[in-house]
Amino acid sequence: MHSFNLALIILFVNFNLCLLLTIVPKYNVNYADIKLDHFNFINNNTFKLRYLINDTFWKPNGPIFFYAGNEGDITLFAENTGYMWEIAPEFGALIVFAEHRYYGTSLPFGNKSLTEPKYSGYLSSSQALADYVDIIGIIRHKYNATSDRVKVIAFGGSYGGMLAAWMRMKYSSVITGSIAASAPIWQFTGMTSCTTYNRIVTSVFAQESPGCDKFIKKTWSLIDNIGSTDAGKSWLTNQFKTCKPLKTANDIKNLKDWLTDLYGNLAMINYPYEANFLAPLPAYPVKAVCNHFSLMNSTSKDILKKLFNGISLYFNGTGTAKCLSFIDSDKLGDESWDYQTCTEMVMPMCDNGDTMFEKKIWNIQEISDDCYKKYKVRPQENLVRDIYGGKNINWATNIIFSNGLLDPWSGGGVTYNLSESAIAVLIPGVAHHLDLRFSNPNDPDEIKQVRIYYKDIIKSWIHWTVYEHEVKII
């Protein structure tokens, strides 16, 4: 790995920070006719796939910066992936954000897209990657950028990072290199322990606010005890201001499942400044939430009142939410992603009961039956491993796998170098793909350092010397 003078890096970043923070994502919205099924020679049906493009910084022979859209509306990622916008002027790059099929407005069958297998069956990572290859081809022709000298650099965070990495692996003639941030490509059966995610979440809460993990651990049994009677369910409904009354044991389970997801999300987006990614949150939101939690001099109901006060920062940070909904509580495409977890994105999660969560067994048969009930499909546990190579990918090249070590998904990420140019970047004290966000005065020094490292790597990928006389270097 390259070595840097940290003092010079900090000086450089501080000097340019005011300029960088003035960049506001602006883009044109386009739709392309894309094949519904890329792997069928008979079915030539198409659908409209949305992509966002900005050619403000585009210079002839400059690279194409391509974001592989993940599980949500593509505008969310365009507005939260500031690193691409900040470095594009220096590279004379064309910026493209492509939406994942079945998310946002890219719905092949409109509102029917997930209603029956004959509609939903075209939702897969393999189809999405082929979509992106077609989009890149369309853009190359549109901008007369068909020369091999125009390189394509893929970017992505989380599931988008997985896609960016897989694009380089599967379509190396199309993608020159990939920045795969917080990409848990090994969070699958037989590759990562199902206990890993919860252990990291627990360590984040314990580190940010000592005792917070123990408080949360206590709440599970209290919710069960109070929720065991009709009167208790009514109290929980009123206390947590749920949009629908809690009437059954399954409703109580849904509340606890929602809380479990919330804690994972808080650990993921535990950024050192205010942000509005999954929800409008203050700096270090884990600590902010935990500040409301204390077991001292508290009855069972007192503890749950404190719990509600804390989690309100997540689901009602703006004060405008009238009630707590367990559905669509963030900005991602929950239903489409739920479908993908029922087909190929089968990421085992369990708990031995020694974390801040309840004991939980990974029961694939139970999950399979639930998936069939919802979508008439069953999960294929090893499909991702078989398609993309699992851990046997030391042949991969030109990929940066970055992981913030406070990110719960880092446990399923690539944490060691796979080859000379497929490199693991481990960033201590950092959450989920913070390295791809806009620069901020509160960014830790490690983030400032790796962002400059990425630029050096990208320059080496696109053979910077070929372009330095053709693209003005700012």
Supply the DSSP string of 40-91, one letter for each residue. -SS---EEEEEEEEE-TT--TT--EEEEE--SB-HHHHHTT-HHHHHHHHHH
Bridge partners, 443 (sequence order) = none
Q: Which residues contact 405 (CB under 8 A, 6 or more apart)?
A: 426, 427, 428, 429, 430
Q: Please name the residue ranges forming H helices in 298-439.
A: 300-315, 334-341, 364-375, 383-388
Phi, psi of 200 (to 5 degrees): -70, -40
**Measuring CA to CA, which residue among 34, 33, 39 is closest to residue 121?**
39
Known catalytic residue: 407?
yes
Q: Which of 120, 124, 125, 158 is catalytic?
A: 158
Known catalytic residue: 228?
no
Phi, psi of 28 (to 5 degrees): -95, 140
Q: Which of 407, 435, 439, 443 is catalytic?
A: 407
Tokens read off for 308: 């509600």
Q: Are 398 and 422 in contact (CB under 8 A)?
A: yes
Q: Which residues contact 338 (CB under 8 A, 6 or more apart)?
A: 374
**Measuring CA to CA, which residue among 367, 387, 364, 341 is closest to residue 114?**
341
Q: What is the largest CA-CA distance in the chain?
A: 75
Tokens read off for 25: 């994502």
Specify the DSSP class assigned to residue 130. H
Q: Which of 100, 432, 433, 435 is catalytic?
A: 432
Taking the C-alpha atoms of residue 256 and residue 218, their distance in angstroms, rounded to an integer, is: 13
**Which active-site residues does the annotation give?**
158, 407, 432
